[in-house]
Amino acid sequence: MPSQVFTGQHIEIAQTRQKALDLSYLRHPERFVKGPPSVKMPPATVYINPMLDLDGQPDPKATVNFPTLERVKSKLS
């Protein structure tokens, strides 16, 4: 849930889930044909429209990617 990620609870929940998966794997490894299961974590960063640097990678220093922001600000003033 988004609230769990916001508060950091997702880490505790993932650890609990991983323990359950590990125990299940120890009891019945034949059920896991692809090897030991692991909990998938949410991505560290999420962008809707990332600002790209010259290499085409998301620019971590860019905080706003809203090209019309200046026009909106001027209309509100």
DSSP-assigned states of every residue in 2-62: HHHHHHTHHHHHHHHHHHHHHHHHHH-GGG-TTSS--PPPPPS---SSPPB-TTSSB-TT-
pLDDT tens for residues 26-41?
A: 999 999 999 999 999 8
Beta bridge pairs of residue 52? 58
Q: Which domain holds residue 21?
A: 2-76
Q: pLDDT band at 2, cuts 50/70/90? A: confident
SS3 of residue 75 by DSSP: helix
Domain count, the chain: 1
Tokens representing 44 are 């560290």
Average pLDDT on 43-61 reads 70
